[in-house]
Amino acid sequence: MAVRQKGRDKGWSIESSLEELALLCRTAGAEVVGRLIQQRDRPSPQTYLGKGKIEELLALINEHKYTVVVVDDELTPFQQQNLEELLLIKIIDRTALILDIFSQRARTKEGQLQVELAQHQYLLPRLAGQWSHLERLGGGIGTRGPGESQLETDRRIIRRKIQRLKDEIGKIRKHRALYQHQRQKTGIPVVALVGYTNAGKSTLFNTLCHANVFVEDKLFATLDPTTRRIKLPDSRDILLTDTVGFIQKLPTTLVAAFNATLEELQSAALLLHVVDITHRDAELQRKTVEEVLAQLDLSQKPVIVALNKVDRLDESTKNSLDEHGIEVKLKDTVQISAKTGFGIPELMELILRKLTDTSSKV
Ligand SMILES: Nc1nc2c(ncn2[C@@H]2O[C@H](COP(=O)(O)OP(=O)(O)OP(=O)(O)O)[C@@H](O)[C@H]2O)c(=O)[nH]1
Ligand SMILES: [Mg+2]
């Protein structure tokens, strides 16, 4: 059961956001069997949902025997605890869901450590709730909660764990910096693929490198950056990097934890922004990616926009992409199909031109 509130996010319609949430659920291995939308100016600080909606939801849970409720926002620990007590059902918020997917997907040691860090940071303020919640739910012999001293111990353990994870990530980071430094010395420019999750970055990466990177029609197929050396039309080399996809309302804990990986982007000479032009929310996705790039201080980087999956469009729509809501008058835009290879020579030429432009400016 997926729940969200009306009118809370810039530009994104409730349907789009809920649809994306359902896709996230499927990626995490759960099927959405019901949806509930609440109209409210702002969420209740105590219970997120209002009284009437809670009753409605409770009735639905009893009728359909739902097992989990997924909320399309990040809940405060207080809201989550109260909701679980009232509904007596497991509540997962958008952040926990994304963290779960990330933990399934991380492959490298660094990726795993980063996700683990984000999970522990998410858990820390939620610990208190867990214990008192158990006490009140169960009560009595055998189910009595471990109490405050246990809670303090648990908090200490989690804090220590967080520190250990940070130390370990720090070590890997140093190693990476060394590697990056060596790479810079070779003078080969780095071109980094960025874009909304599922836009087709890895497919394009494969097409450009003839490599075989994990591609899947699921969200966040790629978590760990992969880099390969490829040749441009003038036979100059570049390093191409495939990265993690972005999403609206990306949990802040994750952005922080993945900072090290995203730092790879800082050293890029050029960003190749891949947009799934066939997606209903292509323009919103493009804007979201731009916002995340701005948060990461990358707005000043030279960018090429690759409008991907044009093989799905028919001839007439290809010429009027405006109808898809995308602002095609953007400079340095090229239409491609990572799958069929359409537009790839033009893309390579554009990369070459853009790199030559930028290097002649500095
Ligand atoms: N029709 C069509 N499908 C494509 C194209 N490019 C990618 N796809 C499909 O889109 C889906 C997502 O592709 P990926 O390459 O995994 O996307 P990504 O941007 O790397 O996604 P994340 O790693 O999850 O952020 C896959 O099912 C691809 O087969 C294309 O040019 N045309
Ligand atoms: Mg990918």
How do residues 211-231 score in pLDDT, each as one tens digit?
556 666 676 666 666 888 888
Q: How many CB atoms lie within 10 A of CB 181?
A: 10
How far, in Å, from the CA of 194 to the mean position of ligand 2?
10
How do residues 119-176 score in pLDDT, each as one tens digit?
999 999 888 655 454 444 444 444 445 556 777 888 899 999 999 999 998 898 888 7
Tokens of 223: 């978590």
pLDDT value of residue 165: 94
Mutate to test the pocket of ligand 1, among 20, 102, 203, 310 (most ligand atoms within 8 A of CB): 203
pLDDT value of residue 134: 46
Pocket of ligand 1 (CB under 6 A): 195, 197-203, 215-217, 219-222, 245, 308-309, 311-312, 337-339
Residue 140 lies in a domain: no
Domain-terminating residue out of 84, 105, 126: 105
Same domain flag for 283 and 254: yes
- Full residue range of the structural domain in which residue 84 is found: 2-105
| CATH code for the domain in which residue 209 is found | 3.40.50.300
Same domain flag for 224 and 347: yes
Percent helix, strand, coil in the chain, to 5, is: 50, 15, 35
Same domain flag for 166 and 311: no
Instruction: Tell me the average pLDDT of the chain.
Output: 83
Same domain flag for 98 and 228: no
- What DSSP letter does each residue of 79-91 carry, written as one string? HHHHHHHHH-SEE
How do residues 22-53 score in pLDDT, each as one tens digit?
999 999 999 999 999 988 888 899 999 999 99
**For atom 26 of ligand 1, which residue has the closest CA?**
217
How far, in Å, from the CA of 162 to the mean position of ligand 1?
34
Residue 304 lies in a domain: yes
Tokens of 332: 């340095």
Contact indicator for 87, 61 with CB cutoff of 8 Å? yes
Same domain flag for 47 and 119: no
**Number of helices and strands in the chain (H, E):** 13, 10
pLDDT value of residue 9: 58
What are the two backbone dihedrals, phi and then psi, of residue 276, each rounded to the nearest 5 degrees?
A: -80, 100
Question: Helices 109-123 and 259-266, interaxial angle, to 10°?
Answer: 130
CA angle 342, 345, 347 (to 5 degrees): 90
**For atom 27 of ligand 1, which residue has the closest CA?**
217
Same domain flag for 226 and 327: yes
Q: How many CA atoms lie within 13 A of 199 on its CB side?
A: 32
How far, in Å, from the CA of 88 to the mean position of ligand 2?
37
Same domain flag for 216 and 298: yes
Residue 144 lies in a domain: no
pTM (predicted TM-score) = 0.83
Same domain flag for 326 and 200: yes
Q: What is the C-alpha to C-alpha distance for residues 115 and 253, in angstroms, rounded to an integer?
A: 9
**For atom 10 of ligand 1, which residue has the closest CA?**
200
Ligand 1, residue 206: give the atom nearest the CA: 15
CA angle 74, 75, 78 (to 5 degrees): 155
Q: What is the C-alpha to C-alpha distance for residues 158 and 178, in angstroms, rounded to an integer?
A: 30
Q: What is the C-alpha to C-alpha distance for residues 120 and 127, in angstroms, rounded to an integer?
A: 10
Q: What is the C-alpha to C-alpha distance for residues 196 and 131, in angstroms, rounded to an integer?
A: 38
Q: What is the C-alpha to C-alpha distance for residues 43 and 215, in angstroms, rounded to an integer?
A: 37
Contacts 24+ apart (CB under 8 A), 146-155: 151/127, 154/127, 155/124, 155/127
Which range is least confidently modeled, 63-67, 185-189, 333-337? 185-189
Residue 183 pLDDT exceeds 80:
no
User: Which residues, 6 or more positions from 164, have their beta carbon under 8 angstroms from its beta carbon?
Assistant: none
- What DSSP letter does each residue of 284-345 carry, written as one string? HHHHHHHHHHHHTT-TTS-EEEEEE-GGGS-HHHHTTGGGGT--TTSSSEEE--TTT-TTHH
| CATH code for the domain in which residue 49 is found | 3.40.50.11060
How do residues 248-295 score in pLDDT, each as one tens digit?
887 877 777 777 667 778 889 999 999 999 998 999 999 999 998 998
Which range is least confidently modeled, 3-7, 92-96, 315-319, 334-338? 3-7
Same domain flag for 124 and 208: no
Amino acid at 197: T
Residue 337 lies in a domain: yes
Amino acid at 44: S
Same domain flag for 337 and 225: yes
pLDDT value of residue 139: 42
Total number of domains in the chain: 3
**For atom 6 of ligand 1, which residue has the closest CA?**
200
Q: What is the C-alpha to C-alpha distance for residues 174 and 171, in angstroms, rounded to an integer?
A: 5
Residue 141 lies in a domain: no
Same domain flag for 164 and 207: no
End-to-end, the C-alpha distance of the chain in Å comes to 54
Q: Which H/E stretch holds residue 276?
A: strand 270-276
Which range is least confidently modeled, 63-77, 110-124, 135-149, 331-345? 135-149
Residue 142 lies in a domain: no
Same domain flag for 222 and 337: yes
